[in-house]
């Protein structure tokens, strides 16, 4: 049995959001009605605000969504675990009120914050709430802008590094050929032939480094723009508790399958803060 008001509100919020996903807005309002809309506990307040925002989204009351969540993530504090859903609901409300640029900017920030898992997480969230039609215009625009910016960054050449290897390759290669030829025609000692070969080899090594770097950047750009289809299967989950503040780190290991390539292992860690009951 749930007895504490705090726990009751968290549970009611969960049930209200579940009712919205099921399309029963009347039940959602019934579950949320007894809740405190101004709790001073972050988790309790978040449970109410997220549920209220989701109900108002389903009712297409966009201004109410922005009142309860704010127009950006600094207006009203929300628990970290709800940051992504809050960003999507804010962006959707902004888009529906004609502020598409602001909505796209919010989603770009969410994509940047989530990092490598951003698109799968957001795609799954949008799929979960598909009947609400969230961010139909702003999300594709944010993904395109984020991917393009990341691709340009991945493809950007470090000019100083590039010039260093280019000058080194040409200098070593040219010096090597010159010394080698001079040794053959007898202008310098025959031992210079060995030095010439060494210089040429060093020049070729620098050219190989340049090629490898450029090739990697082109691959990174392609991945950011087009992605790679892969299947991941979690094979092991470990929990590791830290000595301070009950911090728990969850370690995931998975097998990744990419068509045309050998399977490989990937790992991901997630840090959780366990809160002690009041």
pTM listed for this prediction: 0.63
Q: Are 135 and 96 in contact (CB under 8 A)?
A: no
Residue 132 pLDDT:
93
pLDDT of 131 > 80? The answer is yes
Instruction: Give the mean pLDDT of 117-133.
Output: 87
Q: What is the pLDDT of residue 16?
A: 95
Contacts of 41 (CB under 8 A, 6+ apart): 6
Distance of alpha carbon 78 from the chain centroid: 19
Burial 164-201 (b: 16+ CB within 10 A, else e): ebeebbeebbebbeebbeebeeeebeeebbebbeebbe
Q: In this predicted structure, what is the pLDDT of residue 96?
A: 95
Identify the weakest region by mean pLDDT among 3-7, 209-213, 215-219. Answer: 215-219
User: Cα–Cα distances in Å, from 225 out to 146, 155, 257?
Assistant: 9, 11, 20
* pLDDT over threshold 80, residue 127: yes
With a cut of 70, say whether residue 192 has pLDDT above it: no
- Please report, rounded to a whole number, the percentage of residues in the chain having pLDDT higher than 90: 38
């Amino acid at each position: 049995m749930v007895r504490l008001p705090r726990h009751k509100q968290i549970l009611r919020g969960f049930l209200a959001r579940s009712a919205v996903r099921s399309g029963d807005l009347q039940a959602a309002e019934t579950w949320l009605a007894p809740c405190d809309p101004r709790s001073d506990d972050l988790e309790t307040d978040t449970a109410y605000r997220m549920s209220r925002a989701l109900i108002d989204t389903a009712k297409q009351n966009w201004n109410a969504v922005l009142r309860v969540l704010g127009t950006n993530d600094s207006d009203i504090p929300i628990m970290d675990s709800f940051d992504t859903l809050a960003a999507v609901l804010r962006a959707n409300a902004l888009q529906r009120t004609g502020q598409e640029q602001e909505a796209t900017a919010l989603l770009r920030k969410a994509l940047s914050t989530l990092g490598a898992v951003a698109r799968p997480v957001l795609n799954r969230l949008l799929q979960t709430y598909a009947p609400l039609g969230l961010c139909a215009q702003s999300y594709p625009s944010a993904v395109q802008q984020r991917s393009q910016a990341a691709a340009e960054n991945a493809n950007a050449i470090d000019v100083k590094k590039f010039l260093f290897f280019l000058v080194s390759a040409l200098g070593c290669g040219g010096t090597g050929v010159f010394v080698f030829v001079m040794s053959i025609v007898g202008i310098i000692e025959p031992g210079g032939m060995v030095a010439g070969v060494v210089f040429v080899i060093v020049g070729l090594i620098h050219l190989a480094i340049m090629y490898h770097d450029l090739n990697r950047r082109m691959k990174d750009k392609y991945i950011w723009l087009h992605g790679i289809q892969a299947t991941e299967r979690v094979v092991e989950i470990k929990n590791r508790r830290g000595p301070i503040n009950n911090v728990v780190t969850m370690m995931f290991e998975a097998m990744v399958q990419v068509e045309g390539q050998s399977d490989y292992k990937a790992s991901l860690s997630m840090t959780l803060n366990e809160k002690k009951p009041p």
